[in-house]
Amino acid sequence: MSLVRQFSSLEEIRAVVGFIDDNPVGEHDFSGFVGYYRLKDSLSCCVRDGIGLCGQRHQFGFVVRLKDDTASIVGNECASTKFGANEHYRSSRQEMEKKLALRSKLAGLENVLQNRETSESLLAQAETALQRIQEFKDELERMLGPLIVKALSSMAKNSDGRVVARTITTRFQKDKDGKIVDREDNVEDVVVGRLPSLSALDAQRLRDLSDRLVAAKRAFSRIDTIGRRPIAKEVTYLSSTISRIEPTGGEIAKMSAQIKSFLASDLGLLSFLSRNHKDRVQAVIYAHAKNGQMISKAVAETWLEQLTEATRKRLGVSAVRPV
């Protein structure tokens, strides 16, 4: 494919074979693009205007080939407004834009290759972090019942992190002898605490992140074989895939931070996320395990009773239980 040249001075432009100063270009003289320029100094546009030249001063324009094989210059604005209707001009321009886009992507790839070590170490870090997240999720699912995991997932989606419990406040009516004649239960759901939300429980999201890392890894191995005749589509794919390493790593790091703050929070609250007693005891065991303490079921039972009682007192109610 022919190159689109970039000119950075009038001298360079004048060196183009067949270039003539003040060479008038009409719409039907246009044969093709030689290249483009963005200069600090302005040049005078050579589009034919009546019997003279347009003469508009401009800094961004094109070196064009005429049908008589000479070359001249055209300002960007005139090119669009005066030649824009010409089919041949339009397709040449599109072709040039494509080549320019490809070139800037190749430059992007070049840049990626120069920072390859950094990118690849970012990729490796992200892979390790994602693996730890997956392990955390597997362990959570293994140790807690499905009800609690489901509750945590829905908390992650609603992202408010509130742990709600049902409280019952009982009032007794007594007669003048102190004998209970009536009782009234007032039921109210209250927030007993908050747990940081875990986006790590979103399996689809974990798969997406993993897919992106796998694609980046493949891109690195393919980039070496691209050679000198790059295919635009492939270059686009590779540079976009590799450029996603950093944001993907960022998302993964955010997830890891969530897990860290989850583990540092009051995990006893997990026992309020299921009504199932076995789940609640399991939650207590998990909370202790994450604190480095292995406890038996019996100890967990006692702990759960104490927690419930402490929560009841703190809230000033007659009874408290999961919703």
Residue type, 153: S
Question: Under the criterion CB under 5 A, does residue 161 sit at the interface with Zn ion?
Answer: no
Q: Which lies closer to Zn ion via its Cβ, residue 42 or residue 240?
A: 42
CB 235 within 8 A of CB 226: yes
User: Which of these ranges, 3-11, 59-67, 71-79, 262-270, lies near Zn ion under the rule CB under 5 A?
Assistant: 71-79
Q: Which part of the chain contacts Zn ion (CB under 5 A), choosing from 50-58, 147-155, 165-173, 294-302?
A: 50-58
Beta carbon nearer to Zn ion, 47 or 307: 47
- Cα distances from 82 to residues 25, 38, 60, in angstroms, run 11, 20, 16
Select from 16, 54, 213, 252 the one that contacts Zn ion (CB under 5 A).
Answer: 54
Tell the smallest beta-carbon distance from residue 80 to Zn ion (Å): 10
Residue 61 is a binding residue for Zn ion (CB under 5 A): no
Q: Does 78 bind Zn ion (CB under 5 A)?
A: yes
Query: What value, to the nearest 5°, has the Cα angle with vertex 60 and ends 58 and 64?
Result: 100
| Burial class of 134 by CB neighbour count within 10 A (0 to 12, 13 to 18, 19+) | middle
**What are the structure tokens assigned to 12, written together?**
């360079």
Q: How far is the CB of 78 from Zn ion (least distance, A)?
A: 3
45 binds Zn ion (CB under 5 A): yes
Nearer to Zn ion, 79 or 130 (CB): 79
Distance (Å, rounded) from C-alpha 221 to C-alpha 232? 18
DSSP line for 121-185: HHHHHHHHHHHHHHHHHHHHHHHS-HHHHHHHHHHHHH---EEEEEEEEEEEEE-TTS-EEEEEE
From candidates 16, 34, 47, 213, binder to Zn ion by CB under 5 A: 47
CB-wise, 25 or 223, nearer to Zn ion? 25
Q: Which of 35, 61, 75, 249 binds Zn ion (CB under 5 A)?
A: 75
> For residues 75 and 322, which CB has a smaller minimum distance to Zn ion in the complex?
75
Q: Among the candidate windows 2-10, 33-41, 72-80, 137-145, which touches Zn ion by CB under 5 A?
A: 72-80
Ordered DSSP codes for 13-49: HHTSTTB-TT--B-TTTEEEEEEEEEEEEEEE--BEE
User: Under rule CB under 5 A, how many of the chain's residues touch Zn ion?
Assistant: 6
Q: 16 vs 47, which CB is nearer to Zn ion?
A: 47
Three-class SS of residue 52?
A: strand
How far, in Å, CA of 205 to CA of 196, rounded?
Answer: 18
Q: Which of 56, 70, 111, 169 binds Zn ion (CB under 5 A)?
A: 56
CB 277 within 8 A of CB 301: no
- From the list 78-86, 203-211, 263-271, 274-282, the region that binds Zn ion by CB under 5 A is 78-86
Instruction: By CB under 5 A, tell whether 25 contacts Zn ion.
Output: no
Angle at 58 between CA 53 and CA 59, to 5 degrees: 140
Binding site for Zn ion (CB under 5 A): 45, 47, 54, 56, 75, 78
